[in-house]
Homo-oligomer: A and B are copies of this chain.
Amino acid sequence: MNTPIPSIIALLHGPDQPGIVARISNWIFSRGGNILDTDQYCDFEQNVFFQRVEWMHHEDRAHVRRLADAFAKMVQADLGMRVRIGFSDERAKLGVLVSKIPHCLHELIYRWQVGELKGDLACVVSNHRDLEPLAEAAKVPFHHVPVPRENRAASEAEQLEILHRYGVELVVMARYMQIVSADFLERLIAPVINIHHGFLPAFPGSQPYHQAHTHGVKIIGATAHYATANLDEGPIIAQDVTRINHRSSVADLIRKGRHLEQLVFADAVQAHLDHRVLVYGRKTVLFE
């Protein structure tokens, strides 16, 4: 058989203790594994150790999966750490929530088409029909689920049904202009990444560019974060900023912000798909 053997990627975190690095690298080495990349970080304030380690075994795929299982069990049992395992040849299924604004969906499709995305767009769900042609041109199934104010629960149920039907493993809100409920997030069996068009925690909520304009700030930003029940307060994955000045109208801010948003958003999605993001508390560890 000639298919390439996947590498294993493990994201671990748990209480720091002497010898973790040695035990992990030993375990891998003694089973014939070859470490391709490892990065670790210790939060000395909270005494939590974080590691991302990627390695290969020259074994067939089934054996590699068994080794990964064994590794996860060892880490949990012997080191008392939490672990998440990924494989280099896995492609996650993405569900996209959008409204009318195209640029974030556009950037995702672009990266997907040129092969930069470690995942596949499984479906687009929108409360409007505006982006249906964009999804269809990319041959991604599009579902129109209106979200009337008086019956959001039914809409969310329908959204959930669609997302689960496609088996999505990551939901991305690509400028989805509706608030999702805590219940929706809880029932969704997948993490959710949202892009906020403001430099959080400044300017949460709606119309951050209008707020920025009113405040007379000299720099605007965009923030990609995991969605949580507390709106705009989820763990931040990526942020970027750009300069503006007194001449910049709200329209200028929106235009300049567009580029920030699509880059920050798509970079955050890629980091997640590359198993480089580890959430703890309100924060993320982002392995480069």
Contact = CB atoms under 8 A, between A and B. Distances in A.
A43 to B, nearest CB: 8
A178 interface: no
A228 interface: no
Contact of A41 (B23, B28, B247): B247
Nearest to A40: B38
A140 to B, nearest CB: 15
Interface stretch (A29-37, A61-69, A160-168, A189-197): A29-37
B40 A29 contact: no
A29 B22 contact: yes
Nearest to A23: B29
Interface string A217-257: 11101000000000000011011110001110100000100
Given A22-B29, A25-B26, A199-B199, A286 B245 contact: yes
A139 interface: no
Interface stretch (A82-90, A148-156, A277-285): A277-285
A241 B103 CA distance: 22
A103 B102 CA distance: 17
Contact of A18 (B34, B38, B103, B137): B34
Interface string A261-288: 0010000000000000000011111101
A158 to B, nearest CB: 30
Nearest to A287: B246
A106 interface: yes
A4 interface: no
Contacts of A238: 218
Interface string A65-106: 000000000000000000000000000000000000011001
B246 A41 contact: yes
A110 B106 contact: yes
B239 A283 contact: no
Contacts of A245: 286, 288
A182 interface: no
A30 B21 CA distance: 12
Interface of A: 18-23, 25-26, 28-30, 34-42, 45, 102-103, 106, 110, 114, 116, 137, 199-203, 214-219, 221, 235-236, 238-241, 245-247, 249, 255, 259, 263, 281-286, 288
Given A26-B26, A216-B284, A218-B286, 5 more contacts: A21-B25, A22-B29, A116-B255, A137-B137, A216-B282
12 contacts: A18-B29, A137-B137, A199-B202, A201-B215, A215-B282, A216-B236, A216-B282, A216-B283, A217-B236, A245-B288, A246-B286, A259-B263
